[in-house]
Amino acid sequence: MPRTARRSPWSGRGDRRGAGAYGTGPYGTGGLGPAWSPAGPRDGSGPVAGATTVPGMRIGVIGTGNVGRALAKAWAAAGHDVVLGSRDPGARKELGLPVAGVRQAAAGAEVVVNATPGADSVALLRAAGADVLDGKVLVDIAVGYTVEDHGFALTHTDVSLGEEIQQAFPAARVVKTLSTMDSSAMVAPDGLAEESTVFLSGDDPAAKTVTGALLTDLGWSPSSQLDLGTIDTARGQEHFALLFVALMGALGTHTFNVRVVPPAQR
Ligand SMILES: NC(=O)c1ccc[n+]([C@@H]2O[C@H](COP(=O)([O-])OP(=O)(O)OC[C@H]3O[C@@H](n4cnc5c(N)ncnc54)[C@H](OP(=O)(O)O)[C@@H]3O)[C@@H](O)[C@H]2O)c1
């Protein structure tokens, strides 16, 4: 099957209006079922406890596209010391933020953010050098996909990109998050009609605490953050892209998010 050029499913309005997107839902009356509880269904997972960052945290955002720019601006506005990492920093001078090479941006950072095309992320990070990721929180937002003749297709169908990055860089502390929504919602959750859910997946609890605090800086309240568990749960976050694309078509917009609703307490 020939692959067409990669174009982002997150940009532009959806062009297929679905019938009754919010009408009778696909889950019927059973809803999300009893698996989720405020305490979380698995050891270490569940809502993330509140944590705060210290202003001036050094963040290297790799990738200068929609996601990288939006996050870099938002964290800089929150008082952090943000450097964008680009393959061609000389050509990215108009962004209004410091831009360095990928290796340099990662080397100077405490937290490295992967906002690059998921199909290319591991090669790009390898080229930067594994040593600059050692011991660091690596916040992975990327999703690997291609746009085929039959539509949007994931490149990581069995093992997630988040897991692949963790395996490729075992000394990094990978946390997958924010990959289930558009960049507009990532940095402005209060622009949505009500509180929605952001997910975290990762093996290192302390890295998830740091990531949760950085999410709080973007406007994600602790109650909106749901820790799914270890990095293998990134599979669900990445596969959500398939539903995201369908929702975007049904709603006619890319600015929306989902909310996990637990069972009523009786
Ligand atoms: N857009 C969204 O709202 C959204 C939502 C959820 C998840 N995601 C995921 O987040 C990641 C970033 O999304 P995006 O929309 O910001 O992507 P994008 O606009 O395509 O930007 C990605 C950036 O990564 C850098 N890059 C490094 N290697 C590259 C390569 N081989 N080809 C092209 N660019 C490369 C480029 O910056 P330099 O040229 O400066 O190096 C580029 O601007 C993707 O994995 C995407 O699937 C996006």
- Read out DSSP for 133-189? GTT-EEEE----EEEETTEEEES-SSS-HHHHHHHHSTTSEEEEESTTS-HHHHT-G
CB-ligand 1 contact for 124 (6 Å cutoff): yes
Task: Say which residue, 39 or 181, is predicted with more confidence.
Answer: 181
pLDDT at 23: 22
pLDDT at 266: 86
34 Cβ partners below 8 Å, 6+ apart?
Answer: 263
CB-ligand 1 contact for 64 (6 Å cutoff): yes
Rounded to the nearest angstrom, the distance between the alpha carbon of 63 and the centre of ligand 1 is 6
Question: Could you give the percent of the chain with pLDDT greater than 70?
Answer: 80
Rounded to the nearest angstrom, the distance between the alpha carbon of 184 and the centre of ligand 1 is 14
Task: Please check the confidence at residue 229 and state whether its pLDDT lies above 90.
Answer: yes
Q: Is 180 strand, coil or helix?
A: coil
pLDDT at 54: 74
pLDDT at 17: 27
Domain architecture of the chain: domains with CATH? 3-12+52-251 (3.40.50.720)
Task: Please check the confidence at residue 37 and state whether its pLDDT lies above 60.
Answer: no
- Please indicate, yes or no, whether the overall pTM of this predicted structure exceeds 0.85: yes
Rounded to the nearest angstrom, the distance between the alpha carbon of 218 and the centre of ligand 1 is 19
* Closest Cα to atom 32 of ligand 1: 117
- Sheet of 151-154: strands edge to edge? 3-4, 145-148, 151-154
Stated as kind and residue range, the H or E segment containing 229 is strand 225-229
At 53, the pLDDT band (50, 70, 90 cuts) reads: confident
pLDDT at 177: 98
pLDDT digits (tens, 9 = 90+) for 95-123: 999 999 999 999 999 999 999 999 999 99
Question: Could you give the percent of the chain with pLDDT greater than 90?
Answer: 78
Angstrom CA distances, 11 to 7, 141, 249, stand at 8, 16, 12
Q: What is the mean pLDDT of residues 172-195?
A: 98
CB-ligand 1 contact for 58 (6 Å cutoff): no
CB-ligand 1 contact for 88 (6 Å cutoff): yes
Best residue among 67, 93, 120 to mutate for probing ligand 1, ranked by most atoms within 8 Å of CB: 67
CB-ligand 1 contact for 12 (6 Å cutoff): no
